[in-house]
Chains A and B, each alone.
Chain A
């Protein structure tokens, strides 16, 4: 019955079908709200420097000056314009988070696929190595390496990415284990396809949905982690503008002039919530909780 129902649907063009899960995810209200938030915050971060009224590093008012016509959200602990620093401080955190997530995802997928397809001792070796990494709390792992080698941006990106790696690897392996046992993989082996091609062309496309969810989740964690590292003083160094750094620099004056803390907290919070909503929508679409009716009309 189900087979005939599927057949009854008109043949969709190839390009459309490739993104079925994404299209179904967009149908959820939560995905749309999340996407709107993420796009809005990203726009602020990307285009912010272009519209900032002042330079982020120039003193324009008295320290902790309250909001006025000249400085819309007041001044920070050194008397710099809060709005300008906020608009300029997002680019770096967003870029670093994306890069760290990409590293973690690429490494994790590679390890997970190899473990699932290799089985046996390779699986054991890789996954026990991942367990060792998993034993460190993510922030401790990052701080350990950054405090040892100094606060360099590439190192932060690398360590945050590395801290994601075991988590992504576990998800990938779990999803791939079921796929590598399917007959179409056996069929590719019988034709003599290379291992790389089997993993990338046969297995990977079939686990793209859980990995999409994983991407959103890891991006959220990256944003939080990198903001935390900046807050602790290991990220961008003063006088550079950065959301994490802003929170740290101005927290003493929180009661006096809340804006330099509230604005970046709000942005990071919204970005995280938005990303989570999108991720959740994709996850729901991936398990088939589609909003659209499954039956043909």
Chain B
């Protein structure tokens, strides 16, 4: 029997030479014109599955068994030559970062033509030119020779992704695999690119696999969803069913971790992380992190059908239909009073290029101010100016009424201690050659004159404060997961006993479940320690639960500044309205009701 579209049957990918699987027992079908969402945390095996659909495996992995049928043709059984021909013509791939996928030394036109020449050699020069114009039009890039003469670096991230889309759709493939294609893009650009993907797939009857950890995007785009955990499909079904009535505990926890712009509610993270292939427990892989786990969970459940087309791999799927999870109410911090930090008429830039103009804002003690804007809006430069890491600035910054110097080097010890900065990427902000204990001890050495014993005690206390085991002090950063590393960065900042934390996109490199845990941690610390937060982010939905006030930035200016609820309910600046409209929310399909039905 041959079904049109794409069928994956019994796919298994092994760690080469170990006989241990990375993913196994993967079965799904994608109809022509349908978008299937594949979601999971990092380490769930979703990229491994996506690459297997191209007949490819990463170094150290090998496809052990299974079939990938594209219109009846088995990709995995193809000879290398047939596989090469199939890629591009039958299957196309859109990588995460289009900037690295396009050749920086070749003009866009040359790269697009190369694609046509390789896969459609029957076209002559005129036919190719016509086809090129069509391709540009399809992905809504400006027509005309101007764009074809550009080099990749002369295009914006969104335009680069459109070029990648044009190349992928050029030969009318039967299957297109998109691996987190909008991760690096602004919400507005992301919305446009997603719309383009959806309409192209529908128009040309292309089956699409959309891999992402962003549930909101998947909910908005995909007709059906597959949820993966530790190399197994744990739940699959129509998007509406999976997101509205999740039947696997993991799916449910994931959904609770996703912030929603449409509702102010608490976020719940999932403790721990997905086990690596060598560390998986016997039985259900999710059991160690699952609240509902019982004795039966020590044997691996099979996928069972709970509703039409809705399959779940869990012993407790039936119980879960009735149970409603408890969603904590949002944190309601004390009302702010007074001013801790005041910024007046701040301008900043890099030499003759000025990126900030006339910024005025104030943060009260214990207040959380969110700084929201798309990339290039100047929000990071503003945060760095406040922390003294960007010295090329004008205007004034006052802390407790005293002016702060431009550079952190010329600030007083106490001023440096009061404002602590947490960096975006925890993989870069911890020195890989120092132990966690050393890293957290540095601020203690610098700011407090303490005997060695006290330092050890305080390091342990800081680790416990951010919910890490004190024994971690002997580890090195590369032995920690991304979420654990960011906790260490928070612990280092807290060790200085600051009055204010400047958080620069600190969750953008993390999974949603980890992101929720970090945000909850910050909210707790704020309540217990009376910390002020300046939270820089591009994710509007995330801060709804955290921020007291929001400053929306665009083009180096603050276009709107107001209380969080006012901004969400009655945005005044047109830019804020655009931003809100383009933020995908899980409530679009009714998740909010499902996830927080009051008991």
Contact = CB atoms under 8 A, between A and B. Distances in A.
B42 A205 contact: no
Contacts of A191: 416, 442-443, 446, 496
Interface in A1-52: 1, 3-9, 11, 14, 17
A6 B478 contact: yes
A294 B15 CA distance: 11
Q: Which of A184, A190, A191, A296 has the most CB of B within 10 A?
A: A190
A3 B475 contact: no
Nearest to B22: A1
A3 B43 CA distance: 8
B276 A192 contact: no
Interface stretch (B24-32, B127-135, B204-212, B430-438): B430-438
Interface in B420-456: 420-421, 423-425, 428-435, 442-443, 446
Given A4-B274, A11-B475, A190-B388, 16 more contacts: A1-B22, A3-B482, A5-B276, A17-B476, A182-B428, A186-B429, A187-B492, A189-B389, A190-B408, A190-B416, A190-B421, A191-B416, A192-B408, A192-B409, A192-B446, A202-B431
A3 B424 CA distance: 17
Contacts of B496: 191
14 contacts: A3-B482, A4-B275, A4-B276, A5-B276, A11-B475, A14-B435, A17-B476, A183-B428, A187-B423, A189-B389, A190-B416, A191-B446, A295-B18, A297-B18
Interface string B1-34: 0000000000000011110001000000000000
Given A206-B431, A294-B60, A4 B18 contact: no
Q: Interface residues of A: mostly helix, strand, loop or mixed?
A: helix
Interface size class of B (residues with CB under 8 A): 35 or more
A208 B428 CA distance: 18
B479 interface: yes
A296 B15 CA distance: 9
A214 B396 CA distance: 47
Contacts, number: 101
A184 B416 contact: no
B433 to A, nearest CB: 4
Interface string A169-203: 00000000000001110111111110000000110
A191 to B, nearest CB: 5
Nearest to B60: A295
A206 B446 contact: no
B54 interface: no
Interface of B: 15-18, 22, 42-43, 45, 47-48, 58, 60, 273-279, 387-389, 408-409, 411, 413, 416, 420-421, 423-425, 428-435, 442-443, 446, 474-476, 478-482, 489, 492, 496
A289 to B, nearest CB: 13
Nearest to A202: B431
Nearest to A5: B276
A268 B187 CA distance: 65
Nearest to A6: B478
A296 B408 contact: no
Contact of A1 (B47, B446, B482): B47
Interface in A201-236: 201-202, 205-206, 208
Interface in A141-169: none
A233 to B, nearest CB: 46
B425 A183 contact: yes
